[in-house]
Chains A and B, each alone.
Chain A
Amino acid sequence: MPLFLALPLPPPLALWRRDAPAEPAPRRMMPETAEDEALMRAAAGGDRSAFGLLVHRHGARVLRLALRVLGQPAEAEEVAQEALLRAWQAAGSFDPGRARFTTWLHRIVVNLAIDRARRLATAGPRTGPEALEAWPDPGPDPEAQAASAQQEAGLRAALARLAPKYRAAIALAYEEGLSGAEAAAALGLSERALEGVLYRARQALRRHLEEGS
């Protein structure tokens, strides 16, 4: 037998052997300043604390997007949880060469939220006054709220009547710190196509506002 066949395999090759023992999940802590992609690599290796950092970093935006598409806090929380859980389960298939982590995550959230909104619409819409009452107050200043309460209520009612995809486009377009390219990618559109969707969404919103006034 040739000598090289008798030699033990080096560690990288040993991982490919079917009978190699399963590696325990790494326990090292990632620094809080680590980039999203590094945290996702660690999460793909089973590091739950690394994924916890990602949830802490992006949870608010995930919830905000879900809330703006669905308009109902309880449904939004469920969708946000589901989206983050899916991101955890699919951490191994995340490819930083194809998309940024935030783009990938926003796409999961938006798709889930649009699906849920469509299902809710077919099950019996709750996008009337009931849903509007459930929306949290937008600002801390009660006087400013009182001054524009009627206008905002009208706008919210008009938003609630928009198609879920239009609401998603508006939610992404008005999301601070999100570029046009990222917003478009989250919807699976080109930037030009997103502009078109936004134009139609605003037109529909104006129409609903006029009808409501």
Chain B
Amino acid sequence: MTRKHWEDDALEAALRRALPRPDAAAVARLEAAVARRIARSPLPAPPGPLVRLRAGLPELIPAGWGALAAAAGCAVWLGLHPVTHAAPQAAYDPLGPLLSLPVAGEFL
């Protein structure tokens, strides 16, 4: 057989014919054997935390976006809201205005 005989098309066709195929009995044997072995083997291990997280992540994404939007809203509000410099309550003296009167010192 020369190289010419094994050009792409011929090789393709020959491979398609020559690649082995299992017979139906072998497939049936396989199914029966797997069923037998699985019946005896323990149940599969539960999904790991990573798989559970990945499975649950798509459901959490909307909630995550909501939380992010709320946090961004708070940040913007805190950034733009005018800060009031009110006098501290403890330092407020109710008689203070009286002391500023010109005659206040004469009675004390």
Contacts and interface: CB of A to CB of B under 8 A. Distances in A.
B34 A81 contact: yes
A93 B48 contact: yes
Given A63-B30, A210-B3, A138 B37 contact: no
Contact of B29 (A77, A84, A92, A98): A77
Contacts of A209: 1, 6
B51 to A, nearest CB: 5
A17 interface: no
A155 B20 contact: no
Given A52-B35, A77-B26, A93-B51, A152 B14 contact: yes
A3 B43 CA distance: 39
Contacts of B55: 95, 97
B22 A67 contact: yes
A90 B26 CA distance: 25
Interface in B11-43: 11, 14-23, 26-27, 29-31, 33-35, 37-39, 41, 43
Contacts of A122: none
A155 B26 contact: no
A95 B20 contact: no
Interface in A30-56: 43-44, 46, 48, 51-52, 55-56
Given A52-B35, A88-B44, A136 B22 contact: yes
Given A55-B35, A92-B46, A138 B19 contact: yes
A205 interface: yes
A159 B98 CA distance: 110
Interface string A154-166: 1110010000000
Contact of B44 (A43, A71, A98): A43
B45 interface: yes
Contacts, number: 132
B44 A55 contact: no
Contacts of B89: none
A76 B22 contact: yes
Given A171-B19, A213-B2, A56 B31 contact: yes
Contacts of A68: 19-20
Interface in B65-80: none
Interface of A: 25, 43-44, 46, 48, 51-52, 55-56, 59-60, 62-64, 67-68, 71, 73, 76-77, 80-81, 84-85, 88-93, 95, 97-98, 135-136, 138-139, 148, 151-152, 154-156, 159, 170-171, 174, 202, 205-206, 209-210, 212-213
The 5 closest A-B pairs by CB, nearest first: A213-B1, A91-B44, A46-B43, A152-B18, A92-B47
Given A44-B46, A152-B14, 5 more contacts: A56-B31, A73-B22, A97-B54, A135-B20, A138-B19
15 contacts: A44-B47, A48-B39, A59-B30, A59-B31, A71-B20, A81-B37, A85-B38, A92-B48, A135-B20, A136-B20, A136-B21, A156-B18, A156-B20, A202-B8, A210-B6
